Structure 1
């Protein structure tokens, strides 16, 4: 994707020197770029790295992208590892999402904050959503909010993750519209969105709060109904017929940005090289096709380039910190 990595320049120089001297030289190995998935295989972080990997393959990049899995603490282990132990690696990327930013805002990454890494590029956007079973009596988000207001015990939310994560936060924001406090809201966490939808189909929970991309894949089963997407406006494609929460009278939005950060001491030239690659990806029709195939959406102007992404991350962490205090989740 354009510029040649510094290590590749070294290899080229050595080859020229060897040819000129007609000598036998051992070439240094060029390390493949690495994308760290801060979770177990499967899920949004894995999807983010694999999308970048696939984009490089289809663009004919010489070096393949290697995936490494470093789970723990919803991204905390990877964050601390890169900052403290691998801060200057020029070709190491770590996947993040808005859930990572919420964890930062809640102090779940320990002593490190948003300014301790370099936010280099975004790949795609997703949005929150609220879903119920296809045969649920709740036809609209207003119906669900009314049921919560009448009796909070009637509605058990299910989602991937634990109390305080972004899927819990989406449910809490809906419950707040019914004047139901977060301590009164009923919620059960699962090991990922897939398990939450399984529980919904079985009738073990009455609603699922999650991401639009995973819900879109569930629509094909005919077993769920999406009551609302938590976006500024309706989403294109398979969910074009689903109203936003705002259309139904509730000012709830939850955009999910998926992208990458790098270590804090990565050289500026290497940082700019990767930043330029991600900007080119955003403009590529081929990448747009790959992104849409995963049920994901274009990144908005607020996170289009590295500088905008850095500003977006810092502003979002501040906003999430205020929200966390409202819900008793601040450190």
Structure 2
């Protein structure tokens, strides 16, 4: 009897072990589908296949969506309930860092999670529907000067969010008072473009990677990218704001973090996995195809960068009266 129980026990143990090995890596996009967080997870899903196979893991990365609070719900889930999950990655962006700086994740701190890698740079952009009367950024700014109340601007997040700030800076450079603008706060880039296509808003202040998805289908007109120079890929023909006389550039970092109680060994293994992925020429092509541009930071270097960036955002937000 004892021998039989032992055999059952070992059989069950083997099943559990096999289940753990076979369980796919999960990438959480803390927003609804269709935005930059989804782009980040999809790029990781495509890029990690070779590395995961070589490590004996299931190469099929599972993407889960966890919208709410512009990343706050996902953050809270990881730091309170899923602190030690070894194969759960969470997408973040410069907008996440802005929210951290402004206290929009409650009492959250940069040290609450483990920062793995930054896999690409995105850029801000301003878009309208393809049938919009505004053909250039200048057309839009002229219309906003005449009657700002007639134009609604979709942006992910409330006052002080990244999308709100970058459009406000463009307006300010055009001698328009940002306080006169009509912003509609939305959950993320996916919601913003849905609202634009349904004509609930007339303009979207968002990110180039999000716009590239819709521009390829001919649904929208991107008026400007907020980059130092024109971007390759789907938006190659879109002029920069600088080309149109508005000196604004807005780079957006994109990457992933994981829970605070993941062991050092597992964390370092993930850092090395991402380093290897990002060193691959094939990944460069995948990144461009997903509307992102080169950057490669990981581990300690990325963590230092994030500490500095959040502190810079905090000072900037404080100066603008966005932190109470």
Superposed, which structure 2 residues align to 1:136-285 within 5 Å?
136-190=132-186, 192-197=188-193, 199-201=195-197, 204-285=200-281
The SS at the match of 2:322 is coil
CA pair 148-327 structure 1, distance change in 2 beyond 3 A: farther
Which structure 2 residue ranges, 5 or more long, are not aligned?
Answer: 1-9
- Give the deviation of 1:274 after TM superposition: 0.8
- Give the deviation of 1:119 after TM superposition: 1.0
The correspondence for 1:53, drawn from 45, 59, 64, is 45
1:149-169 per-residue CA deviation (whole Å, 9 max, x = no partner) reads 344334332234444332222
Superposed, which structure 2 residues align to 1:84-123 within 5 Å?
84-123=80-119
- Give the deviation of 1:95 after TM superposition: 1.5
- Give the deviation of 1:130 after TM superposition: 0.9
The SS at the match of 2:149 is helix
CA pair 315-143 structure 1, distance change in 2 beyond 3 A: farther
1:78-130 per-residue CA deviation (whole Å, 9 max, x = no partner) reads 22332234334433322111121111111011111112222111222211101
What is the alpha-carbon distance in structure 2 between the residues aligned to residue 80 and residue 109 of structure 1?
8
- Give the deviation of 1:311 after TM superposition: 2.4
The SS at the match of 2:178 is coil
The answer to which of 190-199 and 279-288 deviates more is 190-199
The SS at the match of 2:75 is helix
Cross-structure match for 1:315: 308
Give the structure-1-normalised TM-score. 0.80
Structure 1 contact 101–316 (Cα < 8 Å) conserved? yes
Structure 1 contact 158–207 (Cα < 8 Å) conserved? yes
- Give the deviation of 1:67 after TM superposition: 4.1
What is the alpha-carbon distance in structure 2 between the residues aligned to residue 140 and residue 41 of structure 1?
28
- Give the deviation of 1:58 after TM superposition: 4.5
Cross-structure match for 1:14: none
Cross-structure match for 1:5: none
CA pair 224-72 structure 1, distance change in 2 beyond 3 A: closer
The alignment status of 1:74 with 2:67, answered yes or no, reads no
CA pair 82-149 structure 1, distance change in 2 beyond 3 A: same
- Give the deviation of 1:74 after TM superposition: 1.9
Which structure 1 residue ranges, 5 or more long, are not aligned?
Answer: 1-22
CA pair 41-210 structure 1, distance change in 2 beyond 3 A: closer
CA pair 314-250 structure 1, distance change in 2 beyond 3 A: farther
Structure 2 contact 226–240 (Cα < 8 Å) conserved? yes
Q: Give the paired residue count.
A: 306
